[in-house]
Amino acid sequence: MGALIIAWKDLRHTYRSPAGLAMMLVAPLLLAFLLGMAFGSGDSFSVARVKTVLVDQDRGAGAGVPAAGEMLSDVLTDPEMSDLLEVVKAETPEEARALVDAGEADVAVIIPANLSETLGAAGGGVEPASPVAVQLYRDPALTVGPSIVEAVVDRVVQALNGARAAASTTLMLALSQGVAGPEDLSRLAAGAAERFSAQAQSDPPIVMKRRAPALKEGESDTGPNVGSQVLVGMMLFFMLFGAATPARSILDEHREGTLPRLFTTPTPRAVILGGKYLSVLLVVLAQVVVLLIAGRFLLGAHWGETGPVVVLAVCSALVAASLGLVTVSFAKTPAQAGAVSSAIFVFLGLISGSFTGTIGLEGAYAVVRRISPLGWLMEGWTSLLYGGSWGDVWLPALAALGFAVAFFGLATFFFRRRYA
């Protein structure tokens, strides 16, 4: 009972501070709303289809060699690419460039006339006099759209160069085995090139992975809007400051002498510190509940199934509360605690991706962010926003809980040494 009374007193004191409420509730919602308006007026962020002009001058080389230009053309016009590319065909390179210059297209892909012929010559053991090039003519004012087309074309060009290398290697092996007939050599090289090209073409250069939240009947099939994606990172980041505010009250009361006087009462010190801990947890737990509700009704966030949401919310509150306690457990003054905790919180926010929302990050950064509990929580909340369930959140929740237990143990150790 004593711990609850202490927690209730600290809780009322915290929520009487307008500045504290602004930091905990207004700031994350305002940032999420403003960034949502800046990047799509709250709707799902998406890249517009890239207007692409295709000129295929290649007519194949015959003799069983696959038409390289047709392969590239098929990839660009594949239905799987229709969400990314809007492809129209032109007869001449001049016509395609004119469309780009007039702003009617973003990029032009010009396939040379001798592309298949060059590959066929390489397959027959003849090196071309000069290399051929697939030309990209782009609007210099654009970056994202032409880069997408460039990535697709580059993947196909690599496949064609691989086919050329496969044909040349087959020729060398055939010659080493005594296969001397020109027709046999040509047939083997063409077959190797065709098989390599077919295998490369079977794997699309860009795969669209569609993810959408679990929707109720009558709701549209759209992904999470920008505001809700940003709110996840802002919520976790400002929860740390929400926890640090009531945690610093321990230092305030110690400096004012009320905490030492409280230790002279029959109330056990474990109960007193337990009440302080409980107040910090209740503050951030209330903060996350308010932000989740506000995100649902003000920003249209679909958080997913209730069970996983509750588990992640509790884990987020435990992490924020325990980390807030750690940052003040070794500080001597409230000012020192504020400076140290701010530096730690900003660092954790940066390495965890709190300022980039729920953007899926790959590579080294996806590994580095896992050294922070916020990184794990970002993964869990991102999965829920995109329709995940228990199978997607149990590992992030377990990892976050482990961090919370470790931080709570550190805070308890330092406080016991100070107030022994």
Q: Give me the sheet containing 50-56, strands edge to edge.
A: 85-89, 50-56, 107-111, 135-138
Predicted local distance difference test score (pLDDT) of residue 211: 43
Helical ranges in 63-143 per DSSP H: 68-76, 93-101, 115-123
Angle between helices 27-38 and 269-298 (to 10 degrees): 30
Closest listed residue to residue 133, CA positions, set 155, 162, 111, 104: 111
User: Which of 102, 88, 106, 105 shows the shortest CA–CA distance to 145?
Assistant: 106
Which residue is listed with tokens 């009947």? 217
List, in sequence order, every residue forming a beta bridge with 111; answer none if it has no partner: 56
Nearest Cα to Cα of residue 354 among 369, 333, 371: 369
Judge residue 346's burial from the number of C-beta atoms within 10 Å of its C-beta, 0-12 exposed, 13-18 middle, 19 or more buried.
middle
CB atoms within 10 A of CB 176: 8
Instruction: Supply 213's token pair.
Output: 């939240």
* 344/378 Cα distance (integer angstroms): 17
- The span from the CA of 243 to the CA of 236, in Å, is 11
| Inter-CA distances, 281 with 233, 255, 376, 377, Å | 19, 23, 19, 17
Chain centroid to Cα 281, Å, comes to 29
Q: How far apart are CA 167 and CA 375, in angstroms?
A: 47
**Regions of the chain with pLDDT less than 50:** 41-45, 62-65, 122-126, 129, 185, 193, 196, 199-201, 203-222
Tokens (6 digits) for 181: 């007939």
Q: Which helix (H) or strand (E) holds 56?
A: strand 50-56
What pLDDT is recorded for position 77? 87
The pLDDT tens digits for 189-208 are 555 545 545 544 454 444 44
**Under a CB-based contact definition with an 8 Å cutoff, are residues 229 and 357 in contact?**
yes
The answer for residues whose C-beta is within 8 angstroms of residue 181's C-beta and 6 or more apart is: none
Which domains are present in the chain? 2-42+223-418 (no CATH), 50-202 (3.40.190.10)
Q: Report the distance separating Cα 13 and Cα 247, nearest Å.
A: 12
Rounded to whole angstroms, how far apart are CA atoms 375 and 403? 11
Judged on CB neighbours under 10 Å (0-12, 13-18, 19+), 261 is exposed
pLDDT at 277: 85
d(CA 17, CA 14): 6
Q: What is the pLDDT of residue 204?
A: 45
User: And the tokens for 370?
Assistant: 């896992």
Residue 140 CB-density burial (10 A; 0-12 exposed, 13-18 middle, 19+ buried): exposed
What contacts 159, CB < 8 A, 6 or more positions away?
71, 196, 197, 200, 201
Q: pLDDT tens-digit profile of 89-122?
A: 998 999 999 999 988 999 999 988 877 776 655 4
Whole-number Cα distances in Å, 406 to 268, 323, 332: 24, 9, 22
For the record, the structure tokens of 290 come out as 């308010």
Q: Is the pTM of this model over 0.85?
A: no
| CB-based contact 164:123 (threshold 8 Å) | yes
Q: How far apart are CA 279 and CA 274, in angstroms?
A: 9
Query: Cβ(91)–Cβ(55) under 8 Å?
Result: yes
Tracing tokens 């692409």 back to the chain, one arrives at: 52
DSSP character at residue 86: E
* Structure-token pair, residue 265: 């009462």
